[in-house]
Amino acid sequence: MPIKLTFHEIHSLGWSSDKDRVTTPLPFEIMSGVTIEDVSSWLNDESLGWVSSQLGFYQTEALKNVRFALVHRYFDQSSVKGTDEDVASEKLVRNFIELVHIIRPMRQRTSIVHAELQEGSRINVGGMDIPNELEVPEVQKLNHLRGKDLQLLKLLTPIFIGAMQRKALKFNSSIFYYAMGRLEPYGNARYLLWCSAIEALFTSHNFDHQGKLVATERIKWFLGSNTSIYEEGDIPDFISNQPTISVGDVVDRLYTVRNYIAHGDVIPNEYFVTPMREGVAGDVATIEVLSEAASFIARQSLLRILKDGLLHHFENAVTADAYFLAHGLTKPLLKQKQKIKRRDGSPEFSDN
Protein backbone atom coordinates (compact mmCIF):
# COMPACT_ATOMS: atom_id res chain seq x y z
CA MET A 1 0.00 0.00 0.00
CA PRO A 2 1.67 3.26 -1.12
CA ILE A 3 2.54 5.92 1.41
CA LYS A 4 1.63 9.28 -0.03
CA LEU A 5 2.63 12.78 1.06
CA THR A 6 0.94 16.12 0.75
CA PHE A 7 3.02 19.04 1.93
CA HIS A 8 3.11 22.82 1.86
CA GLU A 9 5.98 25.21 2.42
CA ILE A 10 6.50 26.90 5.78
CA HIS A 11 8.46 30.03 4.93
CA SER A 12 10.76 30.06 7.95
CA LEU A 13 11.20 28.74 11.47
CA GLY A 14 12.69 30.87 14.27
CA TRP A 15 16.33 31.77 13.96
CA SER A 16 18.81 30.18 16.36
CA SER A 17 19.65 33.58 17.89
CA ASP A 18 15.99 34.51 18.38
CA LYS A 19 14.54 34.48 21.89
CA ASP A 20 11.49 32.74 20.38
CA ARG A 21 13.59 30.20 18.50
CA VAL A 22 12.25 26.72 17.84
CA THR A 23 13.92 24.39 20.33
CA THR A 24 11.57 21.45 19.83
CA PRO A 25 13.20 18.75 17.68
CA LEU A 26 11.81 18.28 14.18
CA PRO A 27 9.67 16.66 12.95
CA PHE A 28 7.14 18.36 15.21
CA GLU A 29 3.87 16.41 15.36
CA ILE A 30 0.72 18.51 15.19
CA MET A 31 -1.60 15.51 15.14
CA SER A 32 -1.36 11.91 14.00
CA GLY A 33 0.05 11.92 10.46
CA VAL A 34 0.61 15.69 10.32
CA THR A 35 4.00 17.20 11.10
CA ILE A 36 6.19 20.21 10.51
CA GLU A 37 9.63 19.10 9.41
CA ASP A 38 12.75 19.80 7.39
CA VAL A 39 12.07 18.58 3.84
CA SER A 40 15.13 20.07 2.13
CA SER A 41 16.62 16.62 1.49
CA TRP A 42 13.48 15.60 -0.40
CA LEU A 43 13.64 18.32 -3.02
CA ASN A 44 16.46 17.74 -5.49
CA ASP A 45 17.02 17.22 -9.20
CA GLU A 46 15.98 13.57 -8.97
CA SER A 47 12.70 14.04 -7.08
CA LEU A 48 11.82 17.18 -9.03
CA GLY A 49 12.38 15.67 -12.48
CA TRP A 50 8.66 15.87 -13.27
CA VAL A 51 8.47 19.47 -12.13
CA SER A 52 11.48 20.45 -14.22
CA SER A 53 10.08 18.85 -17.37
CA GLN A 54 6.53 20.06 -16.97
CA LEU A 55 6.77 23.48 -15.30
CA GLY A 56 10.31 24.68 -15.90
CA PHE A 57 13.35 26.19 -14.22
CA TYR A 58 11.69 28.81 -11.98
CA GLN A 59 9.27 26.39 -10.36
CA THR A 60 12.00 23.80 -9.84
CA GLU A 61 14.36 26.30 -8.19
CA ALA A 62 11.57 27.64 -5.98
CA LEU A 63 10.97 24.14 -4.62
CA LYS A 64 14.67 23.45 -4.17
CA ASN A 65 14.80 26.44 -1.83
CA VAL A 66 12.04 25.08 0.44
CA ARG A 67 13.43 23.89 3.74
CA PHE A 68 10.46 23.50 6.09
CA ALA A 69 6.98 22.23 5.32
CA LEU A 70 3.74 21.07 6.87
CA VAL A 71 3.48 17.41 5.88
CA HIS A 72 0.60 14.93 5.83
CA ARG A 73 1.46 11.24 5.44
CA TYR A 74 -1.31 8.83 4.53
CA PHE A 75 -1.90 5.40 3.05
CA ASP A 76 -3.75 4.93 -0.20
CA GLN A 77 -4.84 1.77 -1.98
CA SER A 78 -3.79 3.21 -5.31
CA SER A 79 -0.85 5.11 -6.78
CA VAL A 80 -3.29 6.81 -9.12
CA LYS A 81 -3.54 10.54 -8.51
CA GLY A 82 -6.82 12.20 -7.62
CA THR A 83 -8.28 9.53 -5.33
CA ASP A 84 -10.65 10.42 -2.53
CA GLU A 85 -7.72 10.07 -0.12
CA ASP A 86 -5.68 12.55 -2.16
CA VAL A 87 -8.51 15.08 -2.17
CA ALA A 88 -9.07 14.72 1.57
CA SER A 89 -5.35 15.10 2.26
CA GLU A 90 -5.07 18.27 0.22
CA LYS A 91 -8.10 19.77 1.97
CA LEU A 92 -6.58 18.93 5.35
CA VAL A 93 -3.22 20.52 4.49
CA ARG A 94 -4.84 23.65 3.07
CA ASN A 95 -6.89 24.08 6.25
CA PHE A 96 -3.81 23.65 8.42
CA ILE A 97 -1.79 26.12 6.36
CA GLU A 98 -4.51 28.73 6.82
CA LEU A 99 -4.41 28.13 10.58
CA VAL A 100 -0.62 28.54 10.48
CA HIS A 101 -0.99 31.89 8.71
CA ILE A 102 -3.73 33.04 11.08
CA ILE A 103 -1.36 32.34 13.98
CA ARG A 104 1.72 33.76 12.23
CA PRO A 105 1.35 35.17 8.70
CA MET A 106 4.45 34.76 6.55
CA ARG A 107 5.63 35.09 3.00
CA GLN A 108 4.99 32.19 0.63
CA ARG A 109 7.02 31.12 -2.40
CA THR A 110 5.43 27.76 -3.30
CA SER A 111 2.22 25.89 -2.60
CA ILE A 112 0.80 22.35 -2.34
CA VAL A 113 3.02 19.44 -3.40
CA HIS A 114 1.88 15.80 -3.86
CA ALA A 115 4.45 13.03 -3.65
CA GLU A 116 4.87 9.33 -3.00
CA LEU A 117 7.35 7.80 -0.57
CA GLN A 118 9.55 5.20 -2.25
CA GLU A 119 12.19 2.71 -1.14
CA GLY A 120 15.21 4.18 0.60
CA SER A 121 13.16 7.12 1.88
CA ARG A 122 13.25 8.65 -1.59
CA ILE A 123 10.23 10.61 -2.76
CA ASN A 124 8.78 11.10 -6.17
CA VAL A 125 6.96 14.40 -6.74
CA GLY A 126 3.94 13.65 -8.88
CA GLY A 127 1.86 16.80 -8.72
CA MET A 128 1.78 20.33 -7.38
CA ASP A 129 0.16 23.70 -7.63
CA ILE A 130 2.13 26.17 -9.71
CA PRO A 131 4.32 28.00 -7.16
CA ASN A 132 2.43 31.00 -5.89
CA GLU A 133 4.75 33.78 -4.71
CA LEU A 134 2.81 35.76 -2.14
CA GLU A 135 3.79 38.95 -0.36
CA VAL A 136 2.50 40.14 2.99
CA PRO A 137 2.04 43.55 4.63
CA GLU A 138 5.23 45.35 5.66
CA VAL A 139 5.25 44.27 9.31
CA GLN A 140 4.95 40.58 8.35
CA LYS A 141 7.86 40.45 5.88
CA LEU A 142 10.36 39.24 8.51
CA ASN A 143 7.93 36.86 10.23
CA HIS A 144 8.91 33.30 10.93
CA LEU A 145 7.20 30.50 12.83
CA ARG A 146 8.30 30.65 16.47
CA GLY A 147 8.40 28.01 19.15
CA LYS A 148 5.30 29.43 20.84
CA ASP A 149 3.49 29.39 17.48
CA LEU A 150 4.12 25.66 17.13
CA GLN A 151 2.71 25.07 20.60
CA LEU A 152 -0.36 27.20 19.85
CA LEU A 153 -0.86 25.37 16.56
CA LYS A 154 -0.85 22.02 18.36
CA LEU A 155 -3.19 23.34 21.07
CA LEU A 156 -5.72 24.77 18.64
CA THR A 157 -5.66 21.91 16.14
CA PRO A 158 -8.49 19.79 17.64
CA ILE A 159 -10.58 22.92 18.25
CA PHE A 160 -9.98 24.16 14.72
CA ILE A 161 -10.81 20.79 13.15
CA GLY A 162 -14.02 20.69 15.16
CA ALA A 163 -14.87 24.23 14.09
CA MET A 164 -14.38 23.44 10.40
CA GLN A 165 -16.44 20.26 10.67
CA ARG A 166 -19.18 22.02 12.61
CA LYS A 167 -19.80 24.33 9.64
CA ALA A 168 -20.27 27.45 11.73
CA LEU A 169 -21.18 29.70 8.80
CA LYS A 170 -19.92 33.04 10.07
CA PHE A 171 -16.66 31.61 11.42
CA ASN A 172 -16.08 29.53 8.27
CA SER A 173 -16.85 32.51 6.03
CA SER A 174 -14.32 34.62 7.88
CA ILE A 175 -11.67 31.90 7.47
CA PHE A 176 -12.47 31.74 3.74
CA TYR A 177 -12.28 35.50 3.16
CA TYR A 178 -9.04 35.81 5.10
CA ALA A 179 -7.51 32.94 3.09
CA MET A 180 -8.63 34.45 -0.23
CA GLY A 181 -7.18 37.81 0.81
CA ARG A 182 -3.87 36.18 1.66
CA LEU A 183 -3.74 34.68 -1.84
CA GLU A 184 -4.76 37.93 -3.57
CA PRO A 185 -1.84 39.94 -5.06
CA TYR A 186 -3.81 43.15 -5.69
CA GLY A 187 -3.85 45.48 -2.70
CA ASN A 188 -7.41 46.83 -2.94
CA ALA A 189 -8.92 43.39 -3.50
CA ARG A 190 -6.94 41.94 -0.59
CA TYR A 191 -8.02 44.81 1.64
CA LEU A 192 -11.70 44.24 0.79
CA LEU A 193 -11.43 40.50 1.37
CA TRP A 194 -9.85 41.01 4.79
CA CYS A 195 -12.56 43.53 5.65
CA SER A 196 -15.10 40.90 4.57
CA ALA A 197 -13.43 38.44 6.96
CA ILE A 198 -13.97 41.00 9.72
CA GLU A 199 -17.55 41.79 8.70
CA ALA A 200 -18.46 38.09 8.53
CA LEU A 201 -17.86 37.98 12.28
CA PHE A 202 -19.06 41.38 13.44
CA THR A 203 -22.06 42.26 11.26
CA SER A 204 -25.06 40.59 9.63
CA HIS A 205 -27.81 41.29 7.08
CA ASN A 206 -30.09 42.53 9.88
CA PHE A 207 -30.36 46.35 9.77
CA ASP A 208 -29.68 46.70 13.50
CA HIS A 209 -26.48 44.65 13.12
CA GLN A 210 -24.74 46.27 10.15
CA GLY A 211 -22.85 49.43 9.24
CA LYS A 212 -19.62 51.14 10.20
CA LEU A 213 -20.80 52.19 13.66
CA VAL A 214 -21.82 48.65 14.59
CA ALA A 215 -18.67 47.03 13.18
CA THR A 216 -16.14 49.43 14.68
CA GLU A 217 -17.67 49.46 18.16
CA ARG A 218 -17.93 45.67 18.23
CA ILE A 219 -14.31 45.29 17.12
CA LYS A 220 -13.08 47.66 19.84
CA TRP A 221 -15.15 45.83 22.44
CA PHE A 222 -14.15 42.33 21.30
CA LEU A 223 -10.39 42.91 20.99
CA GLY A 224 -9.97 45.88 23.30
CA SER A 225 -9.72 49.42 22.02
CA ASN A 226 -6.24 49.87 23.54
CA THR A 227 -4.85 46.60 22.15
CA SER A 228 -1.79 47.23 19.98
CA ILE A 229 -2.05 46.01 16.40
CA TYR A 230 1.55 44.80 16.69
CA GLU A 231 2.68 41.87 18.79
CA GLU A 232 5.87 42.08 20.82
CA GLY A 233 8.78 41.51 18.46
CA ASP A 234 6.84 42.32 15.28
CA ILE A 235 8.86 45.52 14.83
CA PRO A 236 12.64 44.99 15.19
CA ASP A 237 14.30 46.53 18.22
CA PHE A 238 16.68 48.59 16.08
CA ILE A 239 13.73 50.67 14.81
CA SER A 240 13.31 53.16 17.64
CA ASN A 241 10.70 55.79 18.47
CA GLN A 242 7.76 53.67 17.37
CA PRO A 243 4.32 55.10 18.15
CA THR A 244 1.80 52.90 19.92
CA ILE A 245 -0.90 52.10 17.35
CA SER A 246 -3.98 50.48 18.85
CA VAL A 247 -7.16 48.96 17.49
CA GLY A 248 -9.01 52.11 18.57
CA ASP A 249 -6.53 54.29 16.68
CA VAL A 250 -7.11 52.64 13.31
CA VAL A 251 -10.53 51.00 13.18
CA ASP A 252 -12.42 54.09 12.04
CA ARG A 253 -9.95 54.80 9.21
CA LEU A 254 -9.91 51.10 8.36
CA TYR A 255 -13.62 51.29 7.57
CA THR A 256 -13.35 54.66 5.84
CA VAL A 257 -10.87 53.21 3.33
CA ARG A 258 -12.98 50.07 3.03
CA ASN A 259 -15.91 52.23 1.97
CA TYR A 260 -13.82 54.18 -0.56
CA ILE A 261 -12.78 50.93 -2.23
CA ALA A 262 -16.17 49.19 -2.01
CA HIS A 263 -17.99 52.16 -3.58
CA GLY A 264 -15.46 52.68 -6.36
CA ASP A 265 -14.18 56.00 -5.02
CA VAL A 266 -10.62 57.26 -5.11
CA ILE A 267 -8.73 56.80 -1.86
CA PRO A 268 -7.46 60.26 -0.83
CA ASN A 269 -3.75 60.81 -1.40
CA GLU A 270 -3.17 61.50 2.30
CA TYR A 271 -3.43 57.77 3.03
CA PHE A 272 -0.45 57.12 0.75
CA VAL A 273 1.82 60.02 1.74
CA THR A 274 1.20 60.34 5.48
CA PRO A 275 3.42 57.96 7.48
CA MET A 276 2.16 56.28 10.65
CA ARG A 277 5.34 54.52 11.74
CA GLU A 278 8.90 53.75 10.70
CA GLY A 279 9.74 50.50 8.95
CA VAL A 280 12.92 48.64 8.05
CA ALA A 281 13.18 50.47 4.71
CA GLY A 282 11.78 53.85 5.80
CA ASP A 283 8.43 55.39 6.61
CA VAL A 284 5.32 53.17 6.46
CA ALA A 285 2.31 55.01 5.01
CA THR A 286 -1.14 55.02 6.58
CA ILE A 287 -2.60 52.75 3.88
CA GLU A 288 -0.01 50.05 4.64
CA VAL A 289 -0.61 50.31 8.40
CA LEU A 290 -4.35 49.91 7.76
CA SER A 291 -3.65 46.76 5.75
CA GLU A 292 -1.57 45.47 8.67
CA ALA A 293 -4.47 46.35 10.97
CA ALA A 294 -7.02 44.52 8.80
CA SER A 295 -4.90 41.37 8.96
CA PHE A 296 -4.39 41.72 12.72
CA ILE A 297 -8.09 42.29 13.51
CA ALA A 298 -9.28 39.39 11.37
CA ARG A 299 -6.66 36.97 12.72
CA GLN A 300 -6.91 37.92 16.38
CA SER A 301 -10.70 37.76 16.29
CA LEU A 302 -10.59 34.24 14.86
CA LEU A 303 -7.98 33.19 17.41
CA ARG A 304 -9.99 34.58 20.31
CA ILE A 305 -13.06 32.65 19.15
CA LEU A 306 -11.01 29.44 19.13
CA LYS A 307 -9.15 30.08 22.40
CA ASP A 308 -12.14 31.28 24.41
CA GLY A 309 -14.69 28.73 23.21
CA LEU A 310 -16.91 31.30 21.50
CA LEU A 311 -17.64 29.37 18.31
CA HIS A 312 -21.30 28.78 19.19
CA HIS A 313 -21.85 32.56 19.00
CA PHE A 314 -20.59 32.65 15.41
CA GLU A 315 -22.54 29.82 13.84
CA ASN A 316 -25.00 32.06 11.98
CA ALA A 317 -26.60 35.50 11.97
CA VAL A 318 -29.14 34.55 14.66
CA THR A 319 -26.53 33.42 17.20
CA ALA A 320 -24.17 36.31 16.45
CA ASP A 321 -26.94 38.93 16.61
CA ALA A 322 -28.07 37.55 19.98
CA TYR A 323 -24.49 37.60 21.29
CA PHE A 324 -23.90 41.25 20.42
CA LEU A 325 -27.42 42.29 21.52
CA ALA A 326 -26.70 40.82 24.96
CA HIS A 327 -23.73 43.20 25.20
CA GLY A 328 -25.62 46.28 24.03
CA LEU A 329 -23.88 46.44 20.67
CA THR A 330 -26.74 46.99 18.22
CA LYS A 331 -27.28 50.05 16.05
CA PRO A 332 -30.22 51.49 18.08
CA LEU A 333 -28.39 51.05 21.39
CA LEU A 334 -25.15 52.48 20.02
CA LYS A 335 -26.98 55.48 18.54
CA GLN A 336 -28.59 56.06 21.92
CA LYS A 337 -25.10 56.12 23.44
CA GLN A 338 -24.11 58.60 20.74
CA LYS A 339 -26.86 60.97 21.82
CA ILE A 340 -25.77 60.73 25.44
CA LYS A 341 -22.16 61.44 24.49
CA ARG A 342 -23.25 64.38 22.37
CA ARG A 343 -25.28 65.76 25.23
CA ASP A 344 -22.36 65.35 27.64
CA GLY A 345 -19.88 66.84 25.18
CA SER A 346 -17.91 63.61 24.92
CA PRO A 347 -16.22 62.56 21.63
CA GLU A 348 -18.73 61.01 19.25
CA PHE A 349 -18.51 57.97 17.04
CA SER A 350 -20.28 58.02 13.69
CA ASP A 351 -21.92 55.59 11.32
CA ASN A 352 -20.64 57.16 8.09
Same domain (yes/no): 196, 324? yes
Picking from 138, 160, 176, the residue at the C-terminal end of a domain is 138
CA proximity to 301, closest of 139, 152, 178: 178
Residue 84 lies inside a defined structural domain of this protein: yes
Same domain (yes/no): 192, 327? yes
Residue 257 lies inside a defined structural domain of this protein: yes
Same domain (yes/no): 211, 114? no
Q: How many CB atoms lie within 10 A of CB 328?
A: 12
Which pTM value belongs to this model? Answer: 0.91
pLDDT on residue 314: 97
Per-residue confidence of the chain (352 residues) as pLDDT tens digits? 689 999 999 998 876 556 667 778 899 999 999 999 999 888 888 877 777 777 777 777 888 889 999 999 999 887 777 789 999 999 999 999 999 999 999 999 888 999 888 876 788 887 778 767 889 999 999 899 999 999 999 999 999 999 998 889 999 999 999 999 999 999 999 999 999 999 999 999 999 999 999 999 999 999 999 999 998 888 887 887 778 899 999 999 999 999 999 999 999 999 999 999 998 888 999 999 999 999 999 999 999 999 999 999 999 999 999 999 999 999 999 999 888 877 766 555 555 5
pLDDT on residue 201: 98
Same domain (yes/no): 131, 15? yes
Q: Are strands 34-38 and 68-75 parallel, antiparallel or unpaired?
A: antiparallel
Picking from 89, 119, 138, the residue at the C-terminal end of a domain is 138
pLDDT on residue 121: 73
Residue 156 lies inside a defined structural domain of this protein: no
pLDDT on residue 73: 95
pLDDT on residue 189: 96
Residue 246 lies inside a defined structural domain of this protein: yes
Same domain (yes/no): 180, 133? no
Total of domains in the chain:
2
Residue 304 lies inside a defined structural domain of this protein: yes
For residues 41 and 59, give the distance between their C-alpha atoms in angstroms, rounded to a whole number.
17
Picking from 138, 157, 182, the residue at the C-terminal end of a domain is 138
Same domain (yes/no): 174, 314? yes
* Residues forming a β-bridge with 31: 34
Residue 219 lies inside a defined structural domain of this protein: yes
For residues 218 and 349, give the distance between their C-alpha atoms in angstroms, rounded to a whole number.
12
Same domain (yes/no): 41, 180? no
Same domain (yes/no): 37, 91? yes
Same domain (yes/no): 201, 124? no
Same domain (yes/no): 262, 328? yes
Check: CB of residue 229 under 8 Å from CB of residue 247: yes
Residue 148 lies inside a defined structural domain of this protein: no
User: Which domain, by its residues, includes 289?
Assistant: 168-344
pLDDT on residue 133: 81
Same domain (yes/no): 321, 181? yes
Residue 162 lies inside a defined structural domain of this protein: no
pLDDT on residue 156: 97
Same domain (yes/no): 176, 132? no
pLDDT on residue 81: 78
